Amino acid sequence: MGVLGKDIFDLSRPRTSTRVRFGEEGYWVEDVPEMQIYGSILTEILNLDLAPFQAAVDAVDQVIEKQDRDTAPRAFMDLCGAVGTLPLYRLYREDLRFFSKMQVERFVVGEARDAFGEFVLEGDSRLLEFARRTLVELADIQERYGWFLGRLSEGPVVEKKKGQRKEPLAQQMLARHLEPYVSGVSLGADLRVDAPRVDIQYEVLDLPGQEPVLVEKISFSRLLDFVYVECMRGMQKGFVPKRCANCGRWFLQRPGATFAYCDGIAPGETERTCREIGAISNFREKVKNSEIWQLHQRAYKKYFARTRKGTMSRAEFEIWSREAEQLRDRALEEYDRERDAEKKDTIVQRLKEQLNRI
């Protein structure tokens, strides 16, 4: 791995600092060789249940308050495991997860265990301070980014077809008056411009089996700073977390796509996804609110029934179906442009005749 810059040996870098290399299509965390997709960590945080992490922090605070030396080591080791399973840190902090799985008796005994307990009860470890701060940051991210991204995608539930033009994210921000909120990590929560605390260097990333790539290398001491950079870089490239209109969970919207529903199994279902259920719901709503669609569906059912009775072949039905779709789409386009009610009725009547004489 080729390195440019002065930090060839960054041994003094704190273990709570995360080094991330940002490329054109994604980023790499520490020495993890798999590229991460922009917006993936933010999406994970937005869906995160903070209760287990809150409980781990509270457990350490309680043993400190009670000065419970016997329970302190186990509580601290459990906290290490909780930090090691958080979004971003779970990618590379195997040491914390391994430490949390150890039995206290196998790690320290006798005077060493007493010393470990005293260390925890002092309450000034870097990891405990980091955990407390990160808990607050996670709650802030869920609140502020959830609000920002919710505003960005608010409006009618719409899923664009392949090939349809998608409104650029920057244009959506302007249309919803969100541009004042993009200049700081708290998305406008602070009266000042709260810029991320980062230092940028460059590096040639040369991973086995992959083409070398020039990347920006940034070290983050706060999760809040990382999420801001990941979010904004991702949005520049078309990656944006979005809340599913069916189950309410967040999913990552990819460049060029406009989905309102995630592809996870829908609540109460065993196989069907939210996207499948959403497509059915949207279709029913579309038919319900359009005379053109209602005509098409009635004709479709009539001709399909003929294939069941054997009075129309499958090949003949497929030919009819393709022609009927073309007639329907032309009628929809003409109907939407027309403002005169009588002319709209004429379009509907003409389509009815066309569909039934194919």
pLDDT in tens, 198-254: 888 999 988 888 889 899 999 999 999 999 999 999 999 999 999 998 888 999 998
Provide φ and ψ at 313, rounded to 5°: -75, 160
User: Per the domain annotation, does 272 fall within a domain?
Assistant: no
| Kind plus residue range of the DSSP H or E element containing 251 | strand 250-253
Start-to-end CA distance of the chain, whole Å, equals: 67
Q: What is the pLDDT of residue 357?
A: 73
State which residues form the domain around 235.
Answer: 1-258
**Distance from C-alpha of 179 to C-alpha of 175, rounded to nearest angstrom:** 9
Are 68 and 142 in the same domain? yes
Are 305 and 239 in the same domain? no
User: Per the domain annotation, does 204 fall within a domain?
Assistant: yes
User: Would you state the torsion angle of the CA atoms of residues 285, 287, 289, 295, taken in this order, to the nearest 10 degrees?
Assistant: -170
Residue 47 pLDDT > 80 = yes
Which residues are CB-contacts of 280 (< 8 A; sequence separation ≥ 6)? none
Are 181 and 321 in the same domain? no
Residue 344 pLDDT > 80 = yes
Q: What is the pLDDT of residue 169?
A: 84
Q: What does R_g of the chain's alpha carbons equal in angstroms?
A: 28
pTM of the model: 0.74
Residue 162 pLDDT > 80 = no
CB atoms within 10 A of CB 333: 11
Domain count, the chain: 2
Q: What is the pLDDT of residue 26?
A: 93
Are 139 and 229 in the same domain? yes
Q: How far is CA 2 from the centre of its chain?
A: 32
Residue 11 pLDDT > 60 = no
Residue 185, classed as helix, strand or coil, is: coil
Q: Mind listing the pLDDT tens digit for each residue in 164-193?
A: 456 788 888 888 888 888 888 888 777 677
**Distances from the Cα of 60 to the Cα of 55, 85, 131, 173, 334, angstroms:** 9, 17, 10, 42, 68
Are 56 and 169 in the same domain? yes
DSSP code string of 137-154: HHHHHHHHHHHHHHHHT-
Are 120 and 160 in the same domain? yes
Could you give the percent of the chain with pLDDT greater than 90? 36
Q: What is the pLDDT of residue 166?
A: 64
Domain boundary among 242, 258, 274: 258
User: Per the domain annotation, does 284 fall within a domain?
Assistant: no
Domain boundary among 258, 280, 315: 258
Are 252 and 301 in the same domain? no
User: Per the domain annotation, does 137 fall within a domain?
Assistant: yes
Are 118 and 248 in the same domain? yes
Q: What is the pLDDT of residue 233?
A: 94
Q: What is the pLDDT of residue 14?
A: 60
Are 153 and 197 in the same domain? yes
Q: What is the pLDDT of residue 158?
A: 54
Residue 328 pLDDT > 80 = yes
CB atoms within 10 A of CB 76: 25
Are 244 and 197 in the same domain? yes
User: Per the domain annotation, does 127 fall within a domain?
Assistant: yes
